[in-house]
C-alpha cells in the first residue's frame, strides 16, 4: 500500500516509516508538517494518509484541519489520525463526516506493532477503526441520551467493538460467545437506537455516532437526512 505520513516528531516519523516499510508498504512521503500536504498528495497519489492531530506551527489543530480538508477533497482516500490524547470534539468532526475509511488511534497503540499494522491494513481496505478509548469517551458523553440508556451493558460493549472495526466473528472471540449471539445483540441494539442495519459494521457505528451527535446538538430524536453514510 502507498502511504504518506505527516508527523512532526522526527523520531516517531522515522519509526513509522521503518515499521511500515518493513511490513511491505511503499512510503511515498514523510512530512514534518501539513504545509505541503495537498501538493504531496496530488504528486504521490497515496492509498493511505497518516497524520498527527497536532502539527506545527501552533501544535493545536493543524493536523486535524488537514485531515478534514483531505477527506473533503479526496472522499475516497483512507485517513488514519494519530493523537496523544482523545481530542473529543475533533474525533466527532471526523467520525460524523460522510467519507469512507477512517482510523483514529492513540499513539500508545503504535507500541503494539501487530495491532497497529493490522489497523493500517484494515483502514486501507476501507474499514473504520477507532481507538477503544476514543469510543469509550464518545459513548460516555452520550450516556444521558435516552437511546443509549436503552442499551444493556453487553450491547454497549458490542457497539464499542464494532466501532473498533471488529467483525462479528472477532467480537464473538473477544466476548467468548457465538456469532449468533453477537448478531442478536447487534440486531437488538440497532432496534433500540431506531436505526436500520446494513452489512457494513463500520458504517452502522458511524450512523449511530452521527445520530447521537445530531441529537446532542439539535435536541431532537430525528435521524438527520444524511445520518447514514452511503
Q: Residue 178 carries which DSSP code? A: -
pLDDT (average), residues 186-208? 68
Phi-psi domain of 176 (left: phi exceeds 0; alpha: psi -120 through 50; beta: other): left
Looking at 114-128, 133-147, 184-198, which range is the least confident one? 133-147
Average pLDDT over the chain reads: 80
Tell me what pLDDT residue 49 has.
96
Residue 216 confidence (pLDDT) above 50: no
Tell me what pLDDT residue 86 has.
74
Q: Cell numbers 493543524 correspond to what residue?
A: 62
Tell me what pLDDT residue 218 has.
43
- What lies within 8 Å, CB to CB, of 112 at 6+ separation is none
DSSP 10-69: HHHHHHHHHHHHHTT-EEEEEESSSTTHHHHHHHH--SEEEEESS-TTTTSSHHHHHHHH
Cis status, amide bond into 208, omega within 30 of 0: no
Residue 32 confidence (pLDDT) above 80: yes
Amino acid at each position: 500500500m502507498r502511504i504518506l505520513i505527516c508527523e512532526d516528531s522526527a523520531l516517531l516519523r522515522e519509526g513509522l516509516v521503518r515499521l511500515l516499510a518493513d511490513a511491505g508498504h511503499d512510503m511515498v512521503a514523510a512530512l514534518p508538517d501539513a504545509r505541503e500536504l495537498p501538493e504531496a498528495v496530488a504528486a504521490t497519489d497515496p492509498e493511505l494518509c497518516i497524520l498527527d492531530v497536532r502539527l506545527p506551527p501552533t501544535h493545536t489543530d493543524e493536523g486535524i484541519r488537514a485531515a478534514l480538508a483531505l477527506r473533503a477533497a479526496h472522499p475516497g482516500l483512507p485517513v488514519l489520525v494519530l493523537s496523544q490524547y482523545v481530542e473529543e470534539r475533533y474525533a466527532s468532526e471526523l467520525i460524523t463526516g460522510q467519507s469512507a475509511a477512517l482510523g483514529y488511534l492513540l499513539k500508545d497503540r503504535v507500541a503494539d506493532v501487530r495491532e497497529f499494522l493490522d489497523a493500517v491494513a484494515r483502514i486501507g481496505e476501507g474499514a473504520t477503526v477507532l481507538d477503544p478509548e476514543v469510543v469509550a469517551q464518545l459513548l460516555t458523553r452520550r450516556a444521558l441520551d435516552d437511546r443509549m440508556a436503552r442499551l444493556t451493558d453487553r450491547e454497549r460493549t458490542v457497539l464499542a467493538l464494532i466501532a473498533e472495526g471488529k467483525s462479528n466473528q472477532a467480537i464473538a472471540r473477544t466476548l467468548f460467545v457465538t456469532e449468533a449471539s453477537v448478531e442478536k445483540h447487534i440486531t437488538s441494539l440497532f432496534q433500540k437506537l431506531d436505526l436500520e442495519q446494513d452489512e457494513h459494521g463500520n458504517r452502522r457505528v458511524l450512523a449511530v455516532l452521527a445520530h447521537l451527535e445530531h441529537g446532542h446538538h439539535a435536541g431532537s430524536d430525528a435521524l438527520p437526512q444524511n445520518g447514514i453514510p452511503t
